[in-house]
Each structure stands twice: as C-alpha cells, then as structure tokens.
Amino acid sequence: MKLINNKTCYLCNQTKNVSEYHKDSSQQDGLQSRCKECRKDIEYEGHSKRMYVNGKYVSRKHPLYKAGRFKTFEGAAFASLEGYANTPEGYVYIINNPCWDGWVKVGMAIDAEDRCKQYQTSSPYRDYKLCYLKHFEDRKIAEQSAHKELKKITDTYHGEWFKTSVKEAKKTIEAL
C-alpha cells in the first residue's frame, strides 16, 4: 500500500491531510472516502430526523412519530396532538403495586411501558409493575370491554382499579 499524506474528499472536494479521515480497511488506501467533517454533518442530519423518547430510538412506524427528543410519549403526544387524538390503536395493560395487594389497574395507552413510568413518579419506591399488555386496533373499545367483563368478576372496583388477581385480569383481556 502506497503511503499518502493528503486525500480529496468526494463530498466537499477539498484536499485534506489524511488525519482528517477515519480509517476504513475495506478501502484501497485504508481511509474513508469522505472527510470527518462531512461525515459528521451527514450523521447529524440523519439524527435530526429521528425520534427519541427517554434516550431510546422510536421507529418512524410508531403512531406518534415526530422527529425530535422527548422525555416521555406524553410529551411527544402533545407535540403532535393531532396524531394522538386520531390514533385508536394501542395497548390495554395491567399494572399493579405491592402496596395494594390484590388490586390491579386495567388501562389503555399507546405505549404501556411509558404509562407505567408515569405512575412511578407518584411512588417513592418506584414499585409499580407492568404485568401484562396486549395490542388492539382500537384500545378504547378494548379497555371498555375489559372493564365491563371485570365488573362481572368482582364487585370491588374503583375507576380502572379492580380487586382481582393479575391472572384473572390477564385471562379477561386475552379473551377479548
């Protein structure tokens, strides 16, 4: 391999010292064809078109997709409120907390894990647990059906909280 001191970037057409290029063993000269500065610009441009929630990448296929960085899906939902209101699909989930033995919450959300994280802020022990989730084309109708069926099983409930086992609640949701 011939030693070179300078190389021309194929994007910006500037001749630069080889220290301005990343290594690439698949190339004949052992260097990438674009300089570090051009590579950085391209990568930054790509990242600006992506969505991140709580530091995690979110696919463009997600119903609330909107380029940017958000702490929660709630923040993303409010950033693109029209998408949230028109999105019927999502999850019906079961959350419980050991402090309320025998009680489960059956709710709905576009992202059940994010919903559970929101509950954690009200508990000093961060002990809410997402026990089960199931995807539905219409989460609102599925949640209403689940509540209706759970009210047949138990007389003790308050809003979305039911005095029943996780196993019974899961069985009810799976039957929908």
Percent of the chain with pLDDT over 90: 50
**3-state SS, residue 94:** strand
Instruction: Count Cβ atoms below 10 Å from residue 68 Cβ, excluding itself.
Output: 15
Per-residue pLDDT at 163 exceeds 80: yes
CA of residue 16 relative to chain centroid, distance: 41
For the chain, the domains span 6-41, 49-85, 90-174
Banded model confidence at residue 3, pLDDT cuts 50, 70, 90: low
CB 118 within 8 A of CB 54: no
Length of the chain: 176
Question: Among 1-10, 27-36, 73-82, 88-97, which is the least confidently predicted range?
Answer: 73-82
pLDDT score recorded for residue 93: 97
35-79 per-position pLDDT tens digit: 998 887 766 666 678 888 888 888 888 877 888 888 887 777 666
Residue 140 in tokens:
């609102």
Residue 156 in tokens:
């003790």
CB 42 within 8 A of CB 32: no
pLDDT score recorded for residue 81: 56
Please give the C-alpha separations between residue 37 and each of 31, 34, 70, in angstroms, as whole numbers. 14, 8, 27
pTM of the model: 0.56
Please give the C-alpha separations between residue 22 and each of 9, 12, 29, in angstroms, as whole numbers. 12, 15, 11
Per-residue pLDDT at 135 exceeds 90: yes
What's the rounded mean pLDDT across residues 8-20? 92
85-122 per-position pLDDT tens digit: 578 899 999 999 999 999 999 999 988 988 898 888 88
Burial 15-31 (b: 16+ CB within 10 A, else e): ebeeebbeeeeeeeeeb
Residues forming a β-bridge with 53: 56, 70
